[in-house]
Amino acid sequence: MGMWHDLLVPLQYDYMVRAVVVSGLIGVVCGFLSAFVTLKGWSLLGDALSHAVVPGVALAGLLGWPLAAGAFLTGVLATGAMALIKVKSRLREDAVMGIVFTTFFAAGLLIISLTPGGVDRKTIIFGNILAIADRELLQVVVIAVVTLVVLGCKWRDLMLFCFDATQARTLGLPVVVLHGLLLVLMSATVVAALQAVGAVLVVAMLVTPGAAAHLLTDRFGRMMWVAAGLGGGCALVGAYASYFFDGATGGCIVTLQALVFGVVFLWAPRHGWLAERRRARGRSGSGKAQEVRL
């Protein structure tokens, strides 16, 4: 009885209940979206966006705006700047990302350092879900619900676009619109996840659940649900466990996701490392047997 009582202690504090519920919601959204990010190969873009929103958050805190509004604005601006430079120059996409998004991140850090009374640097970089205000909580919930609804309605079109944009265009799908829609959803999700894990660790929540789900199933429809479950479950459990470890909530969430991915990477039934080794040994043994018969 004592052990169970100790495990339920975090539920006695309102801030912990809010943190656990919001973290779980953010984890579900990030996991859902990570399936598309993994399929499209936009992991680097997710990392870049997580850094590009920093100046927007800093300016929003300074001007008294909603943090989500500032972060979303600079995320879209950075994406537009990247697209413009890529079209107007011979630079590769990874080079353009490195230039544009690190510039935005540096600008954000500069704004923070010049305005000590604005948003706390640690809150932006590492997140602070335990102290989330009511207004920011509402923003996160709205972003999460809207993102889930859009993905639920457009997932088939987005799946085809991520898998093969050329085929999607041939079938008459608005590829440019889908491209922009996915970028907007990523920017909005980064804003929401920023509250939980900060700018540094957002990319892990946008990539790890989808990568793990990709090893567990070959069907994209199932992959989405597995990724959403892994993302939400790890976020919820990680936030809850942070109370007992007295550690950073974002660090606990992402570490747990990494551990789950490690388990999946090793023991996934079809695409895990051990399964691949068994198949390799089987092929080797079959080849040797054929040599002996010959």
Q: Which residue range forms the structural domain that includes residue 249? A: 2-293
Gap between the Cα atoms of 195 and 130, Å rounded = 9
CB 174 within 8 A of CB 158: no
Q: Greatest CA separation found in the chain?
A: 81
pLDDT of residue 290: 53
Task: Write out the chain's pLDDT in tens, 294 residues.
Answer: 556 667 788 888 888 888 899 899 999 999 999 999 999 888 878 878 888 888 888 888 788 777 777 877 888 888 888 878 888 888 887 788 888 888 998 998 888 888 766 666 777 777 778 877 777 788 888 888 999 999 999 999 999 999 898 899 998 999 989 988 888 888 888 888 887 788 778 888 999 999 999 999 999 999 999 999 999 999 999 999 999 988 888 889 999 999 999 999 999 988 889 888 888 887 766 655 555 454
What is the distance between the alpha carbons of residues 94 and 282, in angstroms, rounded to a whole number?
Answer: 40
Instruction: Please give the structure tokens belonging to residue 210.
Output: 């989808």
**According to the model, what pLDDT value does residue 270 have?**
84
Q: How many CB atoms lie within 10 A of CB 146?
A: 13
Burial of 262 (0-12, 13-18, 19+ CB in 10 A): exposed
Q: How many domains does the chain have?
A: 1
Terminal-to-terminal C-alpha distance of the chain = 68
pLDDT of residue 11: 83
Q: What is the dihedral of CA 215, 19, 10, 264, to 10 degrees?
A: 10
Residue with tokens 């007295």: 246
The predicted pLDDT at position 286 comes to 60
pLDDT at 267: 92
Q: For 59-70, give the secondary structure using H, E and C.
A: HHHHHCCCHHHH
CATH number at residue 108: 1.10.3470.10
